[in-house]
Amino acid sequence: MNAYAKPLPAINEQSRPYWDAAKAGRLELPRCDHCGAFHTYFEPWCSHCGGEGVHWERLSGRGRIWANCRFHKVYFSGFETDVPYNVAMVELEEGPRMVTNIVGLKHDVLDEMPIGMEVEAVFDPVTPEVTLVRFRPSKRTP
C-alpha cells in the first residue's frame, strides 16, 4: 500500500472528537451550549451568539449538495493523478455546511452531482490515524 500523499489535518485537543468520531464511522460536530448552533470549526466559542461552551453531537450524515465545482489545477503534489476532481459544499440536514468531495460517481462530472442532490456521509480511512468524511449520492429513495 502506498503512503497517503495528500495534505492531512493537524489533529489537536479541540479537533480530536471530530477525528475520533470519523474513525468510528460517525459524523459529530460541536454544538453551542447557548444557542444550539452547530459549528464546522473546532473552537470552544460560538460565532453565532458569542457564547462560550460547546458539546459534541452526532449528526445524521445526510444532506444535500449546496454548491459544487471541479478543480483542474494541482495545488498540492498529492493530487497530480486526481485532476480534475470535484469539491462540493454539503448542507447537512441539521444545518451546517461542510466542504467535501462527492465519491461514487461514474465520471466525476458536475452533471452527476447537481445542486440539491441528496447525499450521505461515508468514511474514508486514509491513514491509521485519519479517516476523512466524504459524501456519496444517497441510497434513500424519495
Which helix (H) or strand (E) segment is 85 a member of?
Answer: strand 85-92
pLDDT of residue 142: 52
Q: Tell me how many degrees the CA angle 94-97-100 measures, rounded to the nearest 5.
A: 125
pLDDT in tens, 109-128: 667 889 999 999 999 999 99
pTM: 0.90
Cβ neighbourhood burial of 15 (10 Å; 0-12, 13-18, 19+): middle
Q: Which of 58, 80, 96 is the last residue of a domain?
A: 58
* Number of domains comprising the chain: 2
Q: What is the CATH number of the domain that holds 66?
A: 2.40.50
Task: Specify whether 77 is located in the same domain as 88.
Answer: yes
pLDDT of residue 139: 84
Residue-range definition of the domain harbouring residue 102? 60-142
With respect to residue 79, please indicate whether it lies within any of the assigned structural domains: yes
With respect to residue 6, please indicate whether it lies within any of the assigned structural domains: no
Any bridge partners for residue 109, and if so which?
Answer: none
pLDDT in tens, 55-106: 999 999 999 999 999 999 999 889 999 898 899 999 999 999 999 999 998 8
With respect to residue 119, please indicate whether it lies within any of the assigned structural domains: yes
Task: Specify whether 106 is located in the same domain as 47.
Answer: no
